[in-house]
Structure 1
Amino acid sequence: MTLDELQPGEGAFIKQVSGSGALRHHLLDMGLTPHTEVTLQKVAPMGDPIQLKVRGYDLTLRLDEARNIEVDGVHRQEDEAYVERRSRDIAHPGVGELDYAPKHHKHDPAPIPKGAPLSFALVGNQNCGKTTLFNQLTGTHQHVGNFPGVTVDRKDGQIRGHREARVTDLPGIYSLSPYSSEEIVTRDFLLESQPDGIINIVDATNLERNLYLTMQLMELGIPMVLALNMMDEVRANGGSILLNELEAVLGIPVVPIAAAKNEGVDELVDHAMHMARHHRRPMRIDFCKDSDVQGDPIASVHRAIHATAHMIEPETRKIKMPLRFAATKLIEKDRLMAEKLSLPQEKQEMFAHILTIMQQETGLDAEAAMAHMRFTFITNLCVQTVVRPHESREHQRSVMIDRILTGRYTAIPSFMAIMAFIFTMTFAGIGAMLTDGMAVVVGSVTAAIDTLLTATGVNPVVHDLLINGALSGIGSVISFLPTIVTLFFFLSILEDTGYMARVAFVMDRLLRRIGLSGRSIVPMLVGFGCSVPAVMATRTLASERDRKMTVLMIPFMSCSAKLPIYALLIGAFFPQQWQAIIMIGLYFTGIIVGILFALLLRRTRFRGEPVPFVMELPNYRLPSAKSVARLIWDKAKGFLIKAFTIIFLASIIIWCLQMFDARLNVAAAPEQSLLAAIGKLAAPVFAPLGFGDWRVATALITGFMAKETVVSTLTVLLGGDITLLQGLFTPLTALVLLVFILLYTPCVAAISTMRREIGGVNAFMTVIVQCMIAWSAAYMVRRLLLLFV
């Protein structure tokens, strides 16, 4: 039978993983190797995907992928019996006490002197705490979250207390056979940059899965240290890890840490610096030599690796590639490695013969045999060195919460209720109250400055520039800062708790109908905050097709920069009891239009099916108050910087352009100004939509730079008197304008990010297409509303 035929609560043993290509290799890297026990825990509310427990962690797969995995030995999975066997804390070797580390030979490079530059790569699986450790090492405040794929690009920083040492935080990766684009960043950095040392961080609560990457990193021959993160959780749940035994087997320093609490980080740095300075490479890179019994599958893999390594040694020396690493990757049919080595025809035939013999002796294909060899070693190592804890409180809590948040009948209503709560609290609750208070403060400050300038007799032109130009433009935007901060607060809670991954699990089947994977939901939810990080988050998607489709959908998720415009127009034209409903309606309108656009793309430019849905589900965790506060401060600071730079400059320029005519004389009236001349050129485009006034056209043009400038521009053009909006719009045209702003092109920063991710032509076409969609949708809304007015 196949894996998709299991019922919830049933376990089985994997017989073989069928299929081919990157997906199959990825499944093997995730631990789905022959003879491994898997348990079906849950089926998603819509019947697909499914949630499995394998090698101590939760993994999601679609039924289509599960049908390619043959299983046998089906049984009813019982709760595991844990034996209370705590291990006492053991004295841990200090720096330089690693007597098993290789000694220096006369041909080895001399030790790097103190003070000389050092570079380190911070590497680990997704969601194992890399960025948290990076922040502790460097004193920076990079964003962290509790779902796979938070880090999508490399980040560099200086290690605190060691000015000569730099560390690079790399995207999470499960193996050195990259499956998605952000994983390629990690592999390329390690192979091409050749850092002085590697800090390999692993999740100590799930050592069996994490050590698979460790074994491949050791094959690179770069000095490295193993950081066992979350050791506080292991101890709290009754478990422990025999550090000295683990070090002795692996031949590298092993340091227990709790990155979130900054425990063990100083010792980790000391070990890393020592290993890098003295070029202490891993002692052990051969993980198959313990089995030399004739007929043993591991022994067959062992012989194949060494035969391949002997054959390709001249080619690896020529391209400066680690020999063992190149041999294992070649056996795994790594296309990138085969292209780099460029073996001559006779060696290709010899290699094919080596593979044939290995596959005949093991009964497994090359990729499965390699994964089986590695995981067999890891399983035996964990039996020797890991004292298993009771089921963690974090996992028990996650199971209880998931009964509701991913339950068959409660998952979708829960998601809708959570999003409705967030929007309501942002637009009608806390956010609205704080915004009203901020508006009073801004108004008081502006009035005080106005009084001061009047009392001191400042030149009237300068007075008008400061009050009706700069302060009116900046103040009109800053008033809505609390609304934006409130939205980011709730979004950060979703990220930190781990709920984002559950939303992807629940929504996968629904998104598949529009041609996307459930993983696309994470960038789209991030897009409600800001389009720039949302576009970058698409790097976690393995398919170029899915990445591009998701990037093109993100601008339809209304970003926080549009909030000030919504709040200004809705507050001016609609009764208070309808304001929150209209605001929420705008967000859902953007989602609906985005879905329709995705359906169009699927039937035209992006034909085909979305990539398979393979994702680890993390445990729920309580949000870190420090992390949430830091994110809110970063977003607020970024907003204020934008207000006092881009918006300030735009307000000054707008004020100046409306003060002078084409001959640079003071305009007799705003309608005769240089700005009016520019606005009147664009006004006919918007006339069919009901807002053909040059002032509105001007505001929309400035919105291309940053959406907030629409508010500041209108404020400046109306002389700071927002009540004059009543003369520009009716409630009907205000609603049409809201629809246009909702859908038209994102800001310059977002377009620039899109250009970097999907290319300049695609980014340019996005601007054109979105403007056309925005105009068409606004026109249809206007014609529809006129039927009822």
Structure 2
Amino acid sequence: MHSDTMFIAIAGNPNAGKTTAFNKYTGARQHVGNYPGITVEKKEGQTMLHGKQISLIDLPGTYSLTAYSLEEVVARKVLAEEKPGAVLNVLNAGVLERNLYLTVQLLEMGMPVAIALNMMDEARNQGLQINAVRLAELIGVPVVSTVARTGEGLETALEAAVTLAMQPTRPAPLVISYGQDVDEALLAMTPIIEEHQFLTTHYPARWIALKYLEHDEDILRQGLAANKEISDLLSAKVSTCAKHLEATLRTYPEAVIADYRYGYIASLLRQGVIADTRNQQNRIAYSDKMDRVLTHQIFGPLLMLGVLYAMYFITFKLGEYPAEWLGVAFEWLRGVADAALPEGPFKSLLLSGIIDGVGGVLGFVPLIMIMFLLIAMLEDSGYMARVAYMMDRVFRFFGLHGASVMPFIISGGIAGGCAVPGIMAARTLRSPRKRLATILTAPFMTCGAKLPVFLLFVGIFFEKNQTLVMFMLSLTGWAVALLTARLLRSSLIKGEATPFVMELPPYRLPTLSGVVIHTWERIWEYMRKAGTVILAISVLLWAGMTYPGISDEAAATFTSKRTAIEATMPEGDARKDALFAVSAEEASAALRASAAGRIGTFLEPITAPAGFDWKTNIALIAGIAAKEVVISTLGTAYSLGEVDPEENTTLADRIRNDSNWTKANAVALLLFTLLYSPCLVTLVVIKQETGSWRWSAFSFFFNLGLAFLVAVAANQILLLAAR
């Protein structure tokens, strides 16, 4: 427990409503970060109960406390080392048997546990009657019926957890019989552990013995570090038990332990805990009926594509006018600043570096907010899990796994995600090779950072077919990711296939609060990034596109041209146009002479086959830091080249009026942005998840080369077709 604040951990399976309960308890009084040294998300928050402050931590969703995944290791470490006063274990009442598996492990660990029997409304709708009082009697811990999405029963459940936390002593660990062979091994190992106080600072002795029998890699590693001699002695006893089980029952300790745990759970549920009131004609739950259509072998994938297409259609239809209004607002702001400030570097920085740079990115907030809203609704409804289920067969053909689907979706498979959490989500894959292939191909998805680039250029060059083009870009990302995975799995990352098992949560009607919270979290992250990272990069790029500028000799040449025009031409439109042309030439020359302009110009002969000029080169280089910066860089570049003080046009208008842009090189840019190097943060996360900079370097250079080849091919083919 932390100081004078009571500390309660919230644990549960994925899709049990654990995070929904946490959000209901804490509301805005929460913060999200990462556990020290790793990238697993850490959510903490505070709530008040009867005038007492309660500190809550939302543990990563896990099915067990055996170290199969990093989330399970983290959850167990928090329970063992931070020692919460109690654990509020949130269970999905509709799949009680599977959810109680984690409960049993918590009790074996000696944790004070209060059970929140969640989703009771859905269980009743399925025809299930669950006797919470009877379950509490049998398992020996408080059990409270709850509906987290409406808040029903949550206060009572928290009260039960707090009452447990206030007890002076902790409960004795649960002891289950695992059959003669395993029980004998446990009886032999437990005294050795107790005698030498082997890891008992954090864990009960019998629980440590169980972990050795389950071959828990994390506990084995801790044991070797603590006392190699005792660890080897325990491993020898495990080996003896395992050999005996193999010889007599053709099984192994881990399987026996799992079987007996489920047997214990089944015996609980048979003793009047669950009554199924459904008749034989109505045994198929509502979710199962929907799945007959939505996950059908033929209709399911077609409906999935229809959902993706409809999402883009709705985004453009609803977001068109708000995005236009926001663009007008930024034009007005620029005009006000232009009129109020004197000429000089600060004015140039504010107008070109900040307003045109960052404003270009923020101008897409309405469209992206609508997209995030729709994605949140799909996630909260349970449909995303069905997408993973349907795609498993396809993914297997390309050497991946059904569990790879969710990392792809999180990375932006249905647009608007982020490769960073997508790559982290690949931890759920137990096959190291499939996990690596997923990590390396997830960045091809349409992440939220790429969306501003797509929305800008699709809106300019494909105004009548915006939905279709965005839809095709998403499909292209999937296709390239799968083909690349097939290439990697047949060359650099070969390996055997592993089975795919996934829980399909019941369909739920998304709640307004849940959708709003999830949408706001994403859009706030987008705006925060625009106001910090992108702002900083925009200022640096403004400096890079401003200095050192043209030489004194070149400046004198342009001054001479203007002087000559003023001396030889009478007042009028012709003279004004001539002076404007000289000023435009000077602005373009100054931009080319800047540090960034010189780099872009140097690369122009290389990128010319893809149709990229020196301004585009600068933007794409900057986009390696963060893809949104492509827009802010173009905004700054075009703004610095603007010489008419009365013409405050949007970036879209400037690109539309630039004769260097065609549909061919616009398509090339869209494809290049979709496929080229992951952003810097993603490259760092790839290193963290793979343990090697080698794979980050591979991702950078392979994606860059592939993107360039695709962009060149697209540009050249479209140019030939246009002749």
TM-score by length of structure 2 reads 0.82
May I ask how many residue pairs the two structures share in their alignment? 656
Q: CA deviation at 1:771?
A: 0.9
Q: Is the 8 A contact 1:155 1:168 kept in 2?
A: yes
Specify which of 310, 325, 348 is matched with residue 207 of structure 2. Answer: 325
Q: Aligned with 1:155: secondary structure?
A: strand
Return the letter of the residue paired with 1:751: L
Tell me the alpha carbon deviations over residues 536-576 of structure 1, each in whole angstroms, 9 at most, x when there is no partner: 222222222222211111111121222222232233334x3
Q: CA deviation at 1:497?
A: 1.4
Distance (Å, rounded) in 2 between the aligned partners of 1:660 and 1:372: 71
Matches within 5 A, 1:647-658: 647-658=534-545
The change in CA–CA distance for 1:664 and 1:489 in structure 2 (over 3 A counts) is farther
The change in CA–CA distance for 1:655 and 1:206 in structure 2 (over 3 A counts) is closer
- Counterpart for residue 400 of structure 1: 289
Q: Aligned with 1:706: secondary structure?
A: coil
> After the TM superposition, which of the residue ranges 536-545 and 751-760 deviates more from structure 2?
751-760
Q: Aligned with 2:533: secondary structure?
A: helix
Return the letter of the residue paired with 1:200: N
Specify which of 683, 691, 696 is matched with residue 616 of structure 2. Answer: 696
Q: Is the 8 A contact 2:664 2:714 kept in 1?
A: no
Matches within 5 A, 1:91-102: none
Q: CA deviation at 1:335?
A: 4.9
- Counterpart for residue 678 of structure 1: 599
Q: Is the 8 A contact 1:745 1:766 kept in 2?
A: yes
Distance (Å, rounded) in 2 between the aligned partners of 1:368 and 1:711: 55
- Counterpart for residue 675 of structure 2: 743
The change in CA–CA distance for 1:402 and 1:780 in structure 2 (over 3 A counts) is same
Distance (Å, rounded) in 2 between the aligned partners of 1:567 and 1:514: 30
Q: CA deviation at 1:405?
A: 1.0
- Counterpart for residue 562 of structure 2: none
Q: Is the 8 A contact 1:153 1:185 kept in 2?
A: no
Q: Is the 8 A contact 1:135 1:141 kept in 2?
A: no
State yes or no: 1:708 paired with 2:628.
Answer: yes
Matches within 5 A, 1:193-592: 193-234=82-123, 239-283=128-172, 285-288=174-177, 298=179, 302-317=183-198, 319-320=200-201, 321-338=203-220, 340=223, 342=228, 343=230, 365-391=252-278, 396-427=285-316, 429-430=317-318, 434-447=319-332, 450-451=335-336, 454=339, 456=340, 458-459=342-343, 462-528=346-412, 529=416, 530-574=418-462, 576-592=463-479
Tell me the alpha carbon deviations over residues 42-101 of structure 1, each in whole angstroms, 9 at most, x when there is no partner: xxxxxxxxxxxxxxxxxxxxxxxxxxxxxxxxxxxxxxxxxxxxxxxxxxxxxxxxxxxx
Q: CA deviation at 1:656?
A: 3.7
- Counterpart for residue 615 of structure 1: 502
Distance (Å, rounded) in 1 between the aligned partners of 2:367 and 2:59: 33
- Counterpart for residue 688 of structure 2: 756
Distance (Å, rounded) in 1 between the aligned partners of 2:592 and 2:661: 18
Tell me the alpha carbon deviations over residues 187-220 of structure 1, each in whole angstroms, 9 at most, x when there is no partner: 3333444444322222223322222222221121
Return the letter of the residue paired with 1:187: R
Distance (Å, rounded) in 1 between the aligned partners of 2:394 and 2:502: 17
| Structure 2: gaps (5+ residues) | 33-38, 556-585, 640-647
Distance (Å, rounded) in 2 between the aligned partners of 1:336 and 1:648: 43
Tell me the alpha carbon deviations over residues 417-467 of structure 1, each in whole angstroms, 9 at most, x when there is no partner: 22222233334x33xxx234422343245326524752x564465444433
Structure with more relative contact order (C-alpha pairs < 8 Å, separation 6 or more): 1
What percent identity do the matched residue pairs reach? 35
- Counterpart for residue 4 of structure 1: none
Q: Is the 8 A contact 1:181 1:541 kept in 2?
A: no
Return the letter of the residue paired with 2:610: L
The change in CA–CA distance for 1:664 and 1:310 in structure 2 (over 3 A counts) is farther
Distance (Å, rounded) in 2 between the aligned partners of 1:737 and 1:365: 56
Distance (Å, rounded) in 2 between the aligned partners of 1:363 and 1:581: 56
Tell me the alpha carbon deviations over residues 508-543 of structure 1, each in whole angstroms, 9 at most, x when there is no partner: 111011111112111212222222222222222222
State yes or no: 1:185 paired with 2:67.
Answer: no
- Counterpart for residue 630 of structure 1: 517
The change in CA–CA distance for 1:373 and 1:642 in structure 2 (over 3 A counts) is closer
| Structure 1: gaps (5+ residues) | 1-111, 145-150, 289-296
Q: CA deviation at 1:263?
A: 2.6
Distance (Å, rounded) in 1 between the aligned partners of 2:170 and 2:544: 65
Distance (Å, rounded) in 2 between the aligned partners of 1:784 and 1:501: 38
Tell me the alpha carbon deviations over residues 357-393 of structure 1, each in whole angstroms, 9 at most, x when there is no partner: 7788888653343333322222221122414243599
Q: Aligned with 2:174: secondary structure?
A: coil
Higher helix share: 2
The change in CA–CA distance for 1:579 and 1:616 in structure 2 (over 3 A counts) is closer
The change in CA–CA distance for 1:240 and 1:142 in structure 2 (over 3 A counts) is farther
The change in CA–CA distance for 1:132 and 1:140 in structure 2 (over 3 A counts) is farther
Return the letter of the residue paired with 1:506: M
Q: Aligned with 2:285: secondary structure?
A: helix
The change in CA–CA distance for 1:653 and 1:301 in structure 2 (over 3 A counts) is closer
Q: Aligned with 2:392: secondary structure?
A: helix
Q: Is the 8 A contact 1:406 1:502 kept in 2?
A: yes
- Counterpart for residue 17 of structure 2: 129
Distance (Å, rounded) in 1 between the aligned partners of 2:713 and 2:284: 50
Q: Aligned with 1:569: secondary structure?
A: helix
- Counterpart for residue 564 of structure 2: none
Q: Aligned with 1:418: secondary structure?
A: helix
- Counterpart for residue 559 of structure 2: none
The change in CA–CA distance for 1:622 and 1:663 in structure 2 (over 3 A counts) is same
Distance (Å, rounded) in 2 between the aligned partners of 1:350 and 1:476: 66
Return the letter of the residue paired with 2:637: L
The change in CA–CA distance for 1:276 and 1:664 in structure 2 (over 3 A counts) is farther
> After the TM superposition, which of the residue ranges 367-376 and 600-609 deviates more from structure 2?
367-376
Q: Aligned with 1:267: secondary structure?
A: helix
Distance (Å, rounded) in 2 between the aligned partners of 1:129 and 1:394: 24
The change in CA–CA distance for 1:466 and 1:247 in structure 2 (over 3 A counts) is same
- Counterpart for residue 29 of structure 1: none
Q: CA deviation at 1:708?
A: 1.8
Q: Is the 8 A contact 2:115 2:142 kept in 1?
A: yes
State yes or no: 1:734 paired with 2:616.
Answer: no
Distance (Å, rounded) in 2 between the aligned partners of 1:307 and 1:401: 52
Q: CA deviation at 1:625?
A: 1.8
Distance (Å, rounded) in 2 between the aligned partners of 1:154 and 1:437: 35
Distance (Å, rounded) in 1 between the aligned partners of 2:591 and 2:173: 78
Q: Aligned with 1:167: secondary structure?
A: strand
Return the letter of the residue paired with 1:608: G
The change in CA–CA distance for 1:163 and 1:468 in structure 2 (over 3 A counts) is farther
Q: Aligned with 1:120: secondary structure?
A: strand
Distance (Å, rounded) in 2 between the aligned partners of 1:457 and 1:239: 70
Return the letter of the residue paired with 1:673: S
TM-score by length of structure 1 reads 0.75
- Counterpart for residue 581 of structure 2: none
Distance (Å, rounded) in 1 between the aligned partners of 2:450 and 2:71: 29
- Counterpart for residue 598 of structure 1: 485
Distance (Å, rounded) in 2 between the aligned partners of 1:317 and 1:654: 58
The change in CA–CA distance for 1:254 and 1:696 in structure 2 (over 3 A counts) is same
Q: Aligned with 1:213: secondary structure?
A: helix
Tell me the alpha carbon deviations over residues 209-265 of structure 1, each in whole angstroms, 9 at most, x when there is no partner: 222222221121232322222234445666544444433333333333322222333
State yes or no: 1:687 paired with 2:605.
Answer: no
The change in CA–CA distance for 1:654 and 1:331 in structure 2 (over 3 A counts) is closer
Return the letter of the residue paired with 1:707: K
- Counterpart for residue 643 of structure 2: none
Q: Is the 8 A contact 1:423 1:487 kept in 2?
A: yes
